[in-house]
Amino acid sequence: MTETALPIPDARCDTLKVGIVSISDRASSGTYEDKGLPALRDWLGQALFNPIDYHARLIPDEQATISQTLIELVDAGCALVLTTGGTGPALRDVTPEATLAVADKEMPGFGEQMRQISLRFVPTAILSRQVAVIRGQSLIINLPGQPKSIQETLGGLKDAEGKQLVDGIFAAVPYCIDLIGGPYMETRDAFCKGWRPKTAIKSKRV
Q: What is the pLDDT of residues 148-157, one digit of tens each?
A: 999 999 999 8
CATH classification of the domain holding 159: 3.40.980.10
Does residue 10 lie in a domain region? Answer: no
Q: Which domain holds residue 45?
A: 16-200
Per mean pLDDT, which range of 41-45, 82-86, 96-100, 119-123 is the poorest? 119-123
Give the count of beta carbons closer than 10 Å to the beta carbon of residue 45: 19
Number of structural domains found in the chain: 1
Percent helix, percent strand, percent coil in the chain, to nearest 5: 35, 20, 45
pLDDT of the residue at 3: 56
Average pLDDT over residues 61-65: 98
User: Does residue 181 lie in a domain region?
Assistant: yes
Q: Would you say residue 6 lies in a domain? A: no
- Confirm whether 11 is domain-assigned: no
Tens-place pLDDT, residues 104-132: 999 999 999 999 999 998 999 999 999 99
